[in-house]
Amino acid sequence: MRTQLISKARRIVVKVGSNILSDERGILSERFIADLARQVASIRRGGKEAVIVTSGAISAGMARLGLPRRPRLLPGLQAAAAVGQGHLMHLYAAAFRGEGVEVGQILLTADDLKARSRHLNARNTIIALLDSGVVPIINENDTVSTDEIKFGDNDCLSALVANLVAADLLVILTDAQGLMTEDPKKGGGELIAEVARIGPEIEALAKGAGSDRGTGGMVSKLRAVKMVVFSGESAVIADGRERDILARIVRGEAVGTFFHPAKERMDGRKRWIAYFIKPKGKVVIDDGAVSAILRKGTSLLPSGIRGVSGDFKKGDTVSVVSTAGREVARGLTNYSASDLRLIGGRKTGEIKGILGRKDYDEAVHRDNLVLLGDRGQ
């Protein structure tokens, strides 16, 4: 199954972490970037498209500015990124030029992907580059990002890019073999070759923290993988320091940890609702409503609502959770938080009498509702 799924993958997003791009001093490895360019050029000749999501700008800037450790304050991080991003892209451009391939730089913030029009424009730009035979090199725009518009880390960014362009495969290259049965830093554990379903037992294994040069550990990588496989695409976490690792993954070799996709692919608009817009509040629903939307694919009606938190407006994204606190869906609400507090638990026929109007029968229509359960894994 792994080999078949990977062989069918036409569009691949490759995420490269700071820990394999640079040494402990933050100095970028020209040798690694050149080897990555060679491997990407090779898989492109095999008829596949590649998008690179890279870290390394802040790390490179730290080295060039002579900073001994990662700045703690935002202005310091942004200054390091401003210095490092140009150097990072220079090395990528030179390496790919040696393979006869052009690259294009794209810097993004979360705001660029949240608004639907900008979201589609970013997607169209990346697709246009791919159609022109160019390898997009994507990074977060750290020089302008603030806490409010940051992705969190580049693991998250890589998953969002994979969803943005409907990639068939996400490859996260890091300094670990993959997902292990125990924390490898403690000297034990075995590699988990394949994961059919990401459940609590798998999430419990993803322990660890970021280094001084990066922001994401295995927890963030698994969170990114979950976004991709729930959307219906495959993912691999592997050691980017291994020889020809990307080429071996694409050949279907049993390296790293392979994550199987959900049975059905999520359409682009529902991906946007699920992953690109931060929920403005929560709607708590009873067990009957949970069963109806997960098993029968129905809309969420006011009668199933047992609680509302947050201050959201009509059209905002809300998180739909069970009474036990498990998030089962996200969707665009047809009513404001104040309206839902009034009509929650009531029948559709009672809405007009309570609010003085009835805009919709549904609190969230099924066309605007994204299920976040097992997704057929």
Verify that 316 and 249 share a domain, yes or no.
no
Among 216, 236, 268, give the residue marking a domain's end: 268
pLDDT value at residue 351: 98
Each residue of 187-227: pLDDT tens digit?
Answer: 668 999 999 998 888 988 886 434 444 445 889 999 999 99
Q: Give the largest CA-CA distance in the chain.
A: 71
pLDDT in tens, 61-111: 888 898 888 888 888 888 998 999 999 999 999 999 999 999 999 999 888
Q: 245 and 107, same structural domain? A: yes
249 and 356 share one domain: no
CA distances from 205 to 7, 90, 155, 173 (A): 28, 38, 17, 18
CATH assignment of the domain containing 13: 3.40.1160.10
Bridge partners of 194, per DSSP, are 258
C-alpha 185/C-alpha 176 separation (Å) is 10
Classify residue 377: in a domain, yes or no: no
What does the pLDDT read at residue 210? 41
Domain end residue (candidates: 268, 287, 306): 268
On whether both 264 and 283 belong to a single domain, the answer is: no
In a domain, 376, yes or no: no
Query: Rounded to an integer, what distance in angstroms lies between the CA atom of residue 84 and that of residue 87?
Result: 5
Looking up residue 349, the CATH number of its domain turns out to be: 2.30.130.10
Assigned domain for 274 exists: no
Same-domain status, 240 and 283 = no
Task: Give counts: helices (H), strands (E), the chain.
Answer: 15, 13
Question: 252 and 298: one domain?
Answer: no
pLDDT of residue 309: 97
In this structure, the answer to whether residues 113 and 151 fall within a common structural domain is yes
Shared domain for 244 and 339, answered yes or no, is no
pLDDT digits (tens, 9 = 90+) for 232-287: 999 999 999 999 999 999 999 999 999 999 988 999 999 999 999 999 999 999 99
> Cα dihedral sign for 120, 328, 168, 376?
negative
Residues 110-155: pLDDT tens digits? 888 888 899 999 999 999 999 999 999 999 887 776 664 456 688 9
Per-residue pLDDT at 216: 53
52 and 156 together in one domain:
yes
User: Which residues are bridge partners to 191 per DSSP?
Assistant: 180
- The CA-atom distances, in angstroms, between 241 and each of 29, 32, 155 are 11, 8, 18
User: In this structure, are residues 272 and 116 in contact, taking their beta carbons and an 8 Å threshold?
Assistant: yes
Yes or no: say if 233 and 168 are a contact pair by the CB < 8 Å rule.
yes
If you write DSSP's letter for every residue of 239-302 in order, what string do you get?
ETTSTTHHHHHHTT-S-SEEEPPPSSPPPHHHHIIIIIS---EEEEE-HHHHHHHHHS-PPBPG
Q: Is 353 exposed, middle or buried (0-12, 13-18, 19+ CB in 10 A)?
A: exposed
- The answer to whether position 6 is within a domain reads yes
pLDDT at 70: 85
In angstroms, rounded to a whole number, what is the distance separating the alpha carbons of residues 149 and 218? 23
If asked whether residues 300 and 213 sit together in one domain, one would say no
Query: Is 220 a member of any domain?
Result: yes
Q: Is residue 247 part of a domain?
A: yes
Q: What is the pTM of this model?
A: 0.88
Q: Of 30-39, 144-153, 312-321, 364-373, where does mean pLDDT reach its minimum?
A: 144-153
Q: Do 171 and 290 belong to one domain?
A: no
Average pLDDT over all residues of the chain: 90
The pLDDT score that the predictor gives to residue 1 is 83
- The rounded distance, in Å, linking the Cα atoms of 38 and 101 is 10
Number of separate domains in the chain: 2
Domain that holds residue 101: 2-268
Contact 354, 346 (CB under 8 A): yes
Same domain as 207, residue 302: no
User: What is the rounded average pLDDT of the residues 321-327?
Assistant: 95
Task: Among 244, 268, 292, identify where a domain stops.
Answer: 268
Question: Looking at the domain assignment, is residue 147 inside a domain?
Answer: yes
156-176 pLDDT, tens per residue? 999 999 999 999 999 999 999
**In the prediction, which pLDDT does 206 show?**
83
